[in-house]
Structure 1
Amino acid sequence: MKLNQFLTPFRIIILSYFILILISSILLYLPFSQQPGAALSFSEAFFTAASAISVTGLIVVNTPETFSPIGIIILSVIIQLGGIGIMTLGTFVWMIMGKKIVLSQRMLIMVDQNQVNLAGLVNLMKNILGIAILIELIGAMILGTYYLNYFDVWYEAYYQGAFASLTAFTNAGFDITGNSLIPFAHDYFVQLVTILLILAGAIGFPVLVELREYFSGKHEKYRFSLFTKITVSTYMFLLVFGTVSIWLLERGQHYAGMVWHEQLFFSLFNSVTARSAGLATMDITYYSIPTLLLISGLMIVGASPSSVGGGIRTTTLAVMFLTIRSFALGKKDVKVFGRELHDEDIRKSFIVLSVFIFILFTSIILISSIERDSGLELMAIIFEVSSAFGTCGLSMGITSELSTLSQFILVLLMFIGRIGLVALLFSMKRADTKTHYHYPVERVIIG
Structure 2
Amino acid sequence: MKTGLAKFMSPFRFIIIAYIITMFLISLLLWMPISQQPGVNLTYFEALFTSISAVSVTGLTVVDVSQTYSYVGVFFLAVAIQLGGIGIMTLGTFVWLLFGQKINLSRRLLIMVDQNQYQFSGMVKLMRGILLTALAIELIGALILGTYYIQYFDSVGQAYYQGAFAALSAFTNAGFDVTGQSLIPFADDYYVQFIVILLIFSGAIGFPVLMELKEYFSSKDRQFKFSLFTKVTVTTYFLVFIIGVFGLWAFERNYYYVGMEWHQQLFFNLFNSATARSAGLATMDISEYTLPTLLFLSALMIIGASPSSVGGGIRTTTLAVMFLTIRSFALGKSDVKVFGREVHPEDKQKAFIVLSFFFVGLVSAVTMITALERENQNVELIDVIFETSSAFGTCGLSTGITADLSMPSQIILLFLMFVGRVGILVFLFSVKKKDTKTHYKYPTERMIIG
- Which TM-score tier does this pair reach, normalised by the shorter chain? over 0.9
The equivalent position to 2:77 in structure 1, one of 75, 87, 91, is 75
- Per-residue CA deviation, residues 190-217 of structure 1 (Å, 9 max, x unaligned), is 0000000000000000000000011113
Aligned to 2:423: 420
Distance 2:50 2:154 in 1: 30
The equivalent position to 2:67 in structure 1, one of 62, 65, 71, is 65
Structure 1 ranges of 4+ moved more than 3 A: none
Aligned to 2:287: 285
| TM-superposed deviation, 1:38 | 0.8
| TM-superposed deviation, 1:152 | 1.9
DSSP-derived class of the 1:367 partner: helix
- Per-residue CA deviation, residues 25-46 of structure 1 (Å, 9 max, x unaligned), is 0000000000000121000000
Instruction: Please tell me whether residue 311 in structure 1 is matched to residue 313 in structure 2.
Output: yes
Distance 1:117 1:4 in 2: 22
Aligned to 2:432: 429
How many corresponding residue pairs? Answer: 447
Question: Which AA in structure 1 matches 2:356?
Answer: S
Instruction: Give the structure-2-normalised TM-score.
Output: 0.99
| TM-superposed deviation, 1:61 | 0.4
Aligned to 1:409: 412
Aligned to 1:104: 106
| TM-superposed deviation, 1:219 | 2.0
RMSD: 0.7
Distance 1:373 1:265 in 2: 38
The equivalent position to 2:54 in structure 1, one of 48, 52, 55, is 52
Specify every segment of 5 or more residues in structure 1 that has no aligned partner in the other structure, as ranges. none
Instruction: Please tell me whether residue 149 in structure 1 is matched to residue 174 in structure 2.
Output: no
* Residues 220-235 of structure 1 mapped to structure 2, 5 A cutoff: 220-235=222-237
Moved more, 235-244 or 147-156: 147-156
Distance 1:314 1:218 in 2: 30
* Residues 113-132 of structure 1 mapped to structure 2, 5 A cutoff: 113-132=115-134
Question: Which AA in structure 2 matches 1:175?
Answer: D
Specify every segment of 5 or more residues in structure 2 that has no aligned partner in the other structure, as ranges. none
The equivalent position to 1:300 in structure 2, one of 299, 302, 307, is 302
The equivalent position to 2:402 in structure 1, one of 399, 402, 412, is 399
The equivalent position to 2:258 in structure 1, one of 250, 256, 259, is 256
Distance 1:428 1:58 in 2: 27
- Per-residue CA deviation, residues 70-114 of structure 1 (Å, 9 max, x unaligned), is 000110011000000000000001011111101111111111111
| TM-superposed deviation, 1:430 | 1.5
DSSP-derived class of the 1:149 partner: coil
* Residues 344-359 of structure 1 mapped to structure 2, 5 A cutoff: 344-359=346-361
* Residues 267-278 of structure 1 mapped to structure 2, 5 A cutoff: 267-278=269-280
DSSP-derived class of the 1:175 partner: coil
Distance 1:350 1:170 in 2: 27
Distance 2:315 2:210 in 1: 17
Instruction: Give the structure-1-normalised TM-score.
Output: 0.99
- Per-residue CA deviation, residues 410-432 of structure 1 (Å, 9 max, x unaligned), is 00000000000000111112212
Aligned to 2:447: 444
Distance 1:262 1:204 in 2: 29
Moved more, 109-118 or 411-420: 109-118
Question: Which AA in structure 2 matches 1:273?
Answer: T
Distance 2:291 2:125 in 1: 46
Aligned to 2:6: 4
The equivalent position to 1:363 in structure 2, one of 355, 359, 365, is 365
DSSP-derived class of the 1:136 partner: helix
Distance 1:302 1:39 in 2: 35
